[in-house]
Chains A and B, each alone.
Chain A
Amino acid sequence: MHTTTLKLVTIVTERILEDRLLRLITAKGAKGYTLTQATGKGSRGVRASEWEGPDTRIETLVGPDVADAIVAEIAGKYFEHYAVIVFVQDAEVVRGEKYL
């Protein structure tokens, strides 16, 4: 089957940032995303989002330029003070043109 190589960007962060990050990735050109509840433990250990429930995991399939733009913006805005994990993987995507 024909596949296209895209980037899968995964963001795991505090629930309180969910809306803001969704706006951010959409503004950078993401066509869609998948949201999952996530819980876990990391270097910060403290989370003010206890009342907002567990953390959130955002996944989006995008082209390489959009992935770079998303990572750069999140790094600049949120890395210093919030609990954020971002990683990018290559993904062989069926019907890849949908995401570009």
Chain B
Amino acid sequence: MLADNLLSPVILAFVLGVVAALVRSDLRLPESLFKGLSIYLLLAIGLKGGVELSRTPLEVFAGPAALTLGLGLVTPLSAYAVLRRLGRFDRVNAAAIAAHYGSVSAVTFIVAVAFATGAGTAPEGYLPALVAILEVPAIAVALMIAFTREKRAGSWQDSLHEVLTGRSIVLLVGGLLIGWAVGPDRFEPAKPFFVGGFQGALVLFLLEMGIVAAGRLRDLRTVGPFLIGFGIVMPIVHGLASVWLAGFTGLSPAGAAVLGAMVSSASYIAAPAAVRIALPEANPTYYLTSSLGITFPFNVTLGIPLYYAFATWLAA
């Protein structure tokens, strides 16, 4: 199963990006293409999720949605506690990193869906709605930790505005609403573009992700062994706990595995922008290197197969 994951074009494109950066190739996707691809991917998962949501009864969706919201509120707290107690981080840096680990990486989600589908069991189609639920609360909770008790240089109101109006939330929520409103039949004409081209776009996107992730690798020495360990162990703990809890909400094993991957993942689009505005004192090297240089590569290569294996083992 692990070999199946590692031998997908998506993962190998990521590896190619890492290798290209390590050998100092001049390969980089043009910024506008990369941004365009991220818009396409986010809108596509929003639309597909919305269409599926339109034919999902509320009582099926309510359990997983409530669990996701709960996990979004709890995971920044657990990450913060570990960073403070075991990692001896100061409040600001701990809160900044916790915001990233509570929030979600949409690309990790997409790779997890692709993996589960490739393994033969498609997860529930409405899962993108859960990504939207998971993205914002964690950032708000982490910023609240940082802003209670002390006055700060940044502004959390500005920062929340940044998250809520950022392109990932606008596209995801907007796509969900459009998909939900039009339903399966009227989505049909747009489907070849958004569904057929999706995997190819993902391959291109992951190529650039590899280059960006490899760029953070030289900072590994600066962040130290604790944060490297944190970037691997924290996702495993969050991921496995979520998979286990998801079983009680009626999610299929594949759906539980994808939820595990979502909760374990660390945001690197919405959270860094929000944290830079709200907590400018926090060191970006810590949160970007751990989320982008450690957790993302770990999750897409080893983490997702692990959550999937755990979910199928629980179900058996």
How many pairs of residues, A versus B, come closer than 8 Å at their CB atoms? 34
Binds B, one of A25-33, A47-55, A62-70: A47-55
Q: Is the Cβ of A50 less than 8 Å from the Cβ of B275?
A: no
Q: Using A16-B273, A51-B268, A51-B273 as known contacts, say yes or no to A46 and B281 having CB atoms under 8 A apart.
A: no
Chain B nearest Cβ from A49, distance in angstroms: 7
Q: Is the interface of B mostly helix, strand, loop or mixed?
A: helix
Residue B69 at the chain A interface, CB threshold 8 Å = no
Residue A81 at the chain B interface, CB threshold 8 Å = yes
Q: Is the Cβ of A54 less than 8 Å from the Cβ of B288?
A: no
Alpha-carbon separation in the docked complex, A53 to B208 (Å)? 13
Q: Is the Cβ of A48 less than 8 Å from the Cβ of B31?
A: no
Alpha-carbon separation in the docked complex, A46 to B269 (Å)? 16
Alpha-carbon separation in the docked complex, A67 to B269 (Å)? 34
Chain B residue, CB-CB nearest to A37 = B31
Q: Is the Cβ of A48 less than 8 Å from the Cβ of B272?
A: yes
Chain A residue, CB-CB nearest to B281 = A81
Alpha-carbon separation in the docked complex, A52 to B166 (Å)? 11
Chain A nearest Cβ from B315, distance in angstroms: 37
Chain A nearest Cβ from B91, distance in angstroms: 16
Chain A residues closer than 8 Å to B273, beta-carbon distance: 16, 48, 51-52
Q: Is the Cβ of A48 less than 8 Å from the Cβ of B275?
A: yes
Q: Is the Cβ of A81 less than 8 Å from the Cβ of B284?
A: no
Q: Is the Cβ of A47 less than 8 Å from the Cβ of B284?
A: yes
Chain B residues closer than 8 Å to A80, beta-carbon distance: 153, 280
Q: Using A46-B285, A51-B273, A54-B31 as known contacts, say yes or no to A81 and B280 having CB atoms under 8 A apart.
A: yes
Alpha-carbon separation in the docked complex, A16 to B273 (Å)? 7
Question: Residue-by-residue, is B277-303 near A (CB-CB < 8 Å gives 1, otherwise 0)?
Answer: 100110111001000000000000000
Question: Residue-by-residue, is A60-86 near B (CB-CB < 8 Å gives 1, otherwise 0)?
Answer: 000000000000000000001110000
Chain A residue, CB-CB nearest to B219 = A46
Q: Is the Cβ of B288 less than 8 Å from the Cβ of A50?
A: yes
Q: Using A16-B273, A82-B280 as known contacts, say yes or no to A48 and B288 having CB atoms under 8 A apart.
A: yes
Q: Is the Cβ of B284 less than 8 Å from the Cβ of A51?
A: no
Q: Is the Cβ of A51 less than 8 Å from the Cβ of B280?
A: no
Question: Residue-by-residue, is A1-37 near B (CB-CB < 8 Å gives 1, otherwise 0)?
Answer: 0000000000000101000000000000000000000
Chain B residues closer than 8 Å to A82, beta-carbon distance: 280
Question: Residue-by-residue, is B255-269 near A (CB-CB < 8 Å gives 1, otherwise 0)?
Answer: 000000000000011
Chain A residues closer than 8 Å to B284, beta-carbon distance: 46-48
Q: Can you list 27 A-B contacts with CB-CB less than 8 angstroms, sorted by A residue number? A: A14-B276, A16-B276, A46-B283, A47-B284, A48-B272, A48-B273, A48-B275, A48-B276, A48-B284, A48-B288, A49-B276, A50-B212, A50-B215, A50-B272, A50-B288, A51-B268, A51-B269, A51-B273, A52-B273, A53-B31, A53-B35, A54-B31, A80-B153, A80-B280, A81-B154, A81-B280, A82-B280
Across chains A and B, which 8 residue pairs bring their CB atoms closest together, nearest first? A81-B280, A48-B284, A48-B276, A48-B272, A46-B285, A46-B284, A53-B31, A16-B276
Beyond the given A16-B273, A54-B31, could you list 17 further A-B residue pairs with CB under 8 A, ordered by the A residue number? A14-B276, A46-B285, A48-B273, A48-B288, A49-B276, A50-B212, A50-B215, A51-B269, A51-B272, A52-B273, A53-B31, A53-B35, A80-B153, A80-B280, A81-B153, A81-B280, A82-B280
